[in-house]
């Protein structure tokens, strides 16, 4: 019997032992069902460590995950292993788990087993302990979509991921400050994907992205110190501003987490320029959101454009800017900074026009029917809203170009101020067109139009538009398209 076959047998014995213990815990103890699930989740992740020392051939290594993809899907349908299935039976997370193992084996088994170990162990211990500690000690809980999160759970995910990364990289390479910095970045990005990934897909995104980031960092030439400093500074300042915004009810709990993530990554990729541009957008639009807030309350009940921002809304407005920030870090071109400014100008124009447009004396004009419609209706414009929207985008244009000329010493024309301002206004107009013709509009119990798909937990009937085409998608696409069109001018 060859060594790979022995390793394969040991692998199956180990995994089935974990499953049996999980079933015993689930069926014969008083512990919460989630405990048995996470016991299996954490336990099985150790398979990688066993396999890397007992199996050499990749062809033997892929056999266990392939078999468990099939077995876990059958269990998902038939509930054979109650210790690994959720009560709602809606998440394919148990199937995604061996899929992630298979992906990492195919990519790293013959190149660097330790990189694959980082991803799998972060998924197992990081995600598993975060859930258990979050359930037991979780305070300040909030939802991102249908996923429940807690501050203590997020903190646990980060710390456990950091410890795992340091241990694995330390033993495989050496324990030094560069390894600590790499581990800090890996754990931060792993935590982000654990937060934002829905439907159990974090069992794929967390391990695969963690290992990919580890691989890129290990093969990166030059000093990475600047990025770790920016990460720490970005976390501190983004955290301070986001928590303050949450206290002022400009952000929900998930929105606070989203703003911290967005602000930190933009600071890492573009420094103070991108971060301050984003802060200017956020502060100015938040102040307008609170201006005559009581007057806008009736609008907020029917439409999605006013009120506290959640995580999805934060990324709908700032995600395009984040993309250009990453492109700037990769290509080091000032044009990407201009496009970043244009993206926030479009977001600012849309927010300003919405928040002030509803104060217009006359109801806005629908671009769909060219009739007067209730204030706040998507796809409607008013002279006041359009003018204020242009001023909002102009503010971003003036600030960003002056910053590039005075602080960054870039040789850039002041005419870019107008380009950014009109790109912002164009984004706001595209937003109105999408709102008029594509955004899903529903009927409430009083037969009034609303953008809200669910009201008081009840699904509303679609009147027109596309069901999944909500205000967040409209915002993201309008900003993205406006920046793409501005490239033609630049």
As for how many domains the chain has, the answer is 2
Burial tier of 134 (Cβ tally within 10 Å: 0-12, 13-18, 19+): buried
Q: Are residues 64 and 208 in the same domain?
A: yes
- Would you say 194 and 167 are in contact if contact means Cβ atoms under 8 Å apart? no
Other beta carbons less than 10 A from residue 169's beta carbon: 25
Q: Are residues 246 and 169 in the same domain?
A: no
Burial tier of 141 (Cβ tally within 10 Å: 0-12, 13-18, 19+): middle
* d(C-alpha 302, C-alpha 309), whole Å: 16
Residue 358: phi and psi, rounded to 5, are -70, -10
140 φ/ψ sector (left φ>0, alpha ψ -120 to 50, else beta):
left
Residue 375: phi and psi, rounded to 5, are -60, 140
Name beta bridge partners: 372: 365
The predicted pLDDT at position 87 comes to 54
Q: Are residues 244 and 109 in the same domain?
A: no
Q: In 79-121, which residue ranges form alpha helices assigned H by DSSP? A: 93-108, 113-121
Q: Are residues 413 and 474 in the same domain?
A: yes
DSSP 460: P
Burial tier of 418 (Cβ tally within 10 Å: 0-12, 13-18, 19+): middle
Radius of gyration of the chain (CA): 25
Tens digits of pLDDT across the chain (490 residues): 678 899 999 999 999 899 888 888 877 777 777 788 888 889 999 999 999 999 999 999 999 999 989 888 887 777 666 555 555 545 677 888 899 999 999 999 988 899 999 999 999 999 889 888 887 776 667 777 667 778 888 999 999 999 999 999 999 888 888 899 899 999 999 999 998 887 778 899 999 999 999 998 888 777 778 888 888 899 999 999 999 888 888 888 888 989 999 999 999 999 999 999 999 998 888 887 766 666 555 555 555 555 578 888 899 999 999 999 999 988 889 999 999 999 999 999 998 988 887 777 777 887 877 778 776 667 788 888 889 999 999 999 999 999 999 999 998 899 999 999 999 999 999 998 888 888 887 777 666 677 667 666 667 777 777 877 888 899 999 999 999 998 887 6
Which of 201, 218, 235 is the C-terminal boundary of a domain? 218
Name beta bridge partners: 251: 309
Of 389, 396, 387, 309, which Cα lies nearest the Cα of 354?
389
Question: Which residues are CB-contacts of 160 (< 8 A; sequence separation ≥ 6)?
Answer: 122, 125, 126, 129, 130
Please list, residue by residue across 95-125, b when 16 or more beta carbons sit within 10 angstroms of its beta carbon and e when fewer do.
Answer: bbbbbbbbbbbebbbeebbbbbbbbbbbbbb
The predicted pLDDT at position 269 comes to 93
Q: Are residues 42 and 132 in the same domain?
A: yes
Q: Are residues 382 and 480 in the same domain?
A: yes
Domain holding 292, by residue range, is 225-489
The predicted pLDDT at position 253 comes to 85
Q: Are residues 302 and 186 in the same domain?
A: no
Question: Which residues are CB-contacts of 271 (< 8 A; sequence separation ≥ 6)?
Answer: 230
3-class secondary-structure state, position 444 = coil
3-class secondary-structure state, position 144 = strand
- Would you say 365 and 353 are in contact if contact means Cβ atoms under 8 Å apart? no
Long-range contacts of 258-263 (CB under 8 A, 24+ apart): 258/196, 258/310, 258/311, 258/312, 258/314, 258/315, 259/309, 259/314, 260/235, 261/192, 261/195, 261/196, 262/238, 262/314, 262/315, 262/318, 262/319, 262/322, 263/234, 263/237, 263/238
The predicted pLDDT at position 479 comes to 96
Which of 163, 187, 218 is the C-terminal boundary of a domain? 218
The predicted pLDDT at position 311 comes to 86
3-class secondary-structure state, position 467 = coil
- Would you say 358 and 377 are in contact if contact means Cβ atoms under 8 Å apart? no
Q: Are residues 408 and 465 in the same domain?
A: yes
Which of 166, 184, 218 is the C-terminal boundary of a domain? 218
Q: Are residues 52 and 174 in the same domain?
A: yes
Q: Are residues 71 and 100 in the same domain?
A: yes
3-class secondary-structure state, position 308 = coil
* d(C-alpha 40, C-alpha 322), whole Å: 36
* d(C-alpha 39, C-alpha 82), whole Å: 13
- Using the Cα atoms of residue 23, residue 29, residue 34 and residue 39 in order, give the sign of their dihedral: negative
| Per-state percent for the chain, helix, strand, coil, to nearest 5 | 70, 5, 25
DSSP 158: H
Of 270, 256, 423, which Cα lies nearest the Cα of 339?
423
Place of tokens 């013709």: 437
The predicted pLDDT at position 25 comes to 83
Q: Are residues 238 and 213 in the same domain?
A: no
- CA dihedral defined by 102, 107, 112, 113, rounded to 10 degrees? 0
Question: Which residues are CB-contacts of 428 (< 8 A; sequence separation ≥ 6)?
Answer: 346, 349, 350, 353, 386, 389, 393, 478
The predicted pLDDT at position 51 comes to 93
Q: Are residues 184 and 232 in the same domain?
A: no
């Amino acid at each position: 019997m060859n060594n790979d076959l022995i390793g394969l047998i040991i692998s199956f014995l180990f995994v089935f032992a974990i499953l049996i213990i999980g079933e015993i815990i689930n069926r014969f103890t008083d512990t919460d069902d989630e405990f048995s699930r996470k016991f299996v989740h954490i336990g099985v992740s150790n398979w990688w460590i066993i396999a890397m020392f007992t199996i050499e051939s990749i062809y033997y290594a892929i056999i266990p995950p392939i078999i468990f993809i099939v077995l876990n899907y059958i269990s998902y349908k038939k509930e054979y292993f109650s210790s690994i299935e959720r009560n709602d039976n809606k998440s394919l997370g148990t199937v995604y788990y061996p899929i992630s193992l298979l992906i990492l084996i195919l990519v790293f088994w013959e190149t660097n087993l330790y990189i694959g170990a980082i991803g799998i162990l972060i998924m197992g211990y990081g995600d598993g302990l975060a859930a258990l500690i979050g359930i037991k000690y979780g305070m300040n809980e909030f939802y991102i979509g249908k996923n429940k999160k807690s501050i203590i759970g997020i903190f646990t995910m980060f710390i456990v991921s950091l410890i795992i990364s340091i241990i694995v990289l330390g033993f495989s390479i050496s324990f030094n400050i560069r390894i600590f910095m790499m581990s800090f970045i890996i754990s931060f990005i792993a935590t982000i994907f654990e937060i934002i990934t829905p439907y159990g897909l974090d069992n794929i995104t967390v391990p695969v992205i963690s290992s990919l980031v580890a691989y890129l960092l290990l093969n990166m030439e030059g000093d990475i110190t600047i990025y770790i400093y920016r990460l720490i500074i970005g976390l501190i300042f983004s955290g301070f501003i986001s928590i303050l915004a949450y206290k002022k009810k400009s952000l929900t709990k998930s929105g606070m987490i989203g703003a911290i993530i967005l602000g930190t990554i933009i600071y890492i990729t573009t420094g103070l320029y991108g971060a301050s541009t984003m802060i200017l957008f956020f502060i100015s639009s938040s102040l307008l959101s609170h201006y005559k807030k009581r007057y806008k309350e009736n609008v907020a009940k029917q439409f999605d454009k006013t009120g506290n921002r959640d995580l999805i809304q934060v990324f709908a407005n700032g995600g395009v800017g984040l993309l250009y920030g990453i492109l700037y870090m990769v290509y080091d071109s000032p044009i990407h900074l201009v496009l970043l400014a244009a993206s926030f100008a479009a977001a600012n124009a849309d927010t300003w026009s919405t928040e002030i447009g509803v104060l217009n004396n006359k109801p806005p004009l629908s671009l769909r029917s060219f009739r007067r419609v209730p204030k706040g209706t998507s796809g409607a414009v008013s002279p006041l809203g359009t003018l204020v929207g242009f001023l909002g985008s102009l503010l971003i244009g003036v600030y960003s170009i002056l910053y590039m000329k005075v602080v960054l010493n870039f040789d850039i024309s002041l005419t870019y101020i107008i380009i950014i301002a009109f790109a912002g206004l164009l984004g706001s107009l595209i937003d109105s067109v999408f709102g008029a013709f594509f955004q899903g509009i529903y009927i409430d119990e009083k037969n009034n139009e609303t953008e809200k798909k669910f009201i008081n937990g009840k699904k509303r009937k679609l009147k027109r538009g596309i069901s999944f085409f909500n205000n967040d998608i409209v915002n993201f696409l309008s900003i993205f398209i406006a920046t793409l069109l501005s490239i033609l001018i630049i």
